[in-house]
């Protein structure tokens, strides 16, 4: 049972207009945003931040950003966000074989060294306490420029907010995200848990 129930998607016309962004990324407006709209300024600020962080500027692709978000969400334990990032990664072109190999990213030929450095960094940066050390930071810097590192840390930080929001709210997971979790993540211990809804 969610702590606070989401409002209908047409509750705030202004939020609804901004939230159209999520039809591209997920295929629906997430319940987290529908809950945030109880304070429309929070919903609008979150959508603006999400759009800014997740925009594809080049090498840190839309698909990789979602895999980084997945790793950060896994480290934080947020199953809601794990399923959402896996769904979005697939929508942005991540093949099922690559998603299935996510926990073999250090050795799988499906991942290159730059991706490995980004995913190592995401796991360390999302850990509590933060586990980024000189080795992890230097590996990241050897593959990504300063602007790209800002993008990577932006993704991890965005999901830090979302992980706290959705786990604290016990946000009910939507069918589309739950299906991806059940098919692609259950083998890694994923289940709906508190996000099963009422």
The model's pLDDT over 14-54, given as tens digits with 9 standing for 90+, comes to: 999 999 999 999 999 999 999 999 999 999 999 999 999 99
Q: What is the pTM of this model?
A: 0.96
Would residue 134 count as lying in a domain? yes
Would residue 79 count as lying in a domain? yes
Q: Give the model confidence (pLDDT) of 70-94 as tens digits.
A: 999 999 999 999 999 999 999 999 9
39: DSSP letter? S
Asked whether the beta carbons of 59 and 70 are under 8 A apart, the reply is no
183: DSSP letter? I
Distance CA(43)–CA(36), nearest Å, equals 5
Question: What is the rounded average pLDDT for all residues in the chain?
Answer: 96
Would residue 39 count as lying in a domain? no
Would residue 170 count as lying in a domain? yes
Would residue 54 count as lying in a domain? no
From the list 181, 155, 162, 148, the residue with the least C-alpha distance to 31 is 162
Would residue 172 count as lying in a domain? yes
Which pair of tokens denotes residue 151?
């993008």
Q: Total structural domains in the chain?
A: 1
Instruction: Give the CATH number, domain containing residue 102.
Output: 1.20.1290.10
Would residue 87 count as lying in a domain? yes
User: What is the extent of the structural domain holding 89?
Assistant: 62-196
Instruction: Give the pLDDT confidence score for residue 198 in this predicted structure.
Output: 60
Would residue 84 count as lying in a domain? yes
């Amino acid at each position: 049972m969610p702590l606070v129930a989401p409002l209908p998607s047409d509750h705030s016309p202004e939020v609804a207009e901004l939230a159209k962004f999520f039809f591209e990324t997920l295929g629906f407006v997430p319940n987290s945003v529908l809950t945030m709209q109880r304070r429309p300024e929070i919903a609008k600020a979150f959508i603006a931040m999400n759009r800014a962080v997740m925009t594809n500027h080049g090498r840190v692709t839309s698909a990789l950003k979602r895999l980084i978000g997945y790793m950060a969400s896994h480290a934080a334990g947020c199953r809601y966000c794990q399923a959402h990032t896996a769904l979005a990664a697939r929508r942005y072109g991540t093949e099922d074989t690559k998603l299935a190999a996510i926990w073999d990213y250090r050795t799988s030929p499906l991942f290159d060294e730059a991706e490995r450095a980004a995913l190592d960094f995401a796991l360390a940066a999302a850990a509590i306490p933060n586990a980024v050390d000189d080795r992890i930071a230097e590996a990241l810097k050897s593959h990504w420029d300063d602007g790209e590192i800002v993008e990577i840390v932006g993704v991890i930080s965005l999901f830090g907010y979302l992980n706290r929001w959705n786990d604290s709210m016990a946000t009910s997971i939507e069918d589309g995200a739950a299906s991806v979790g059940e098919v692609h993540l259950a083998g890694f211990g994923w289940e709906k848990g508190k996000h099963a809804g009422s």
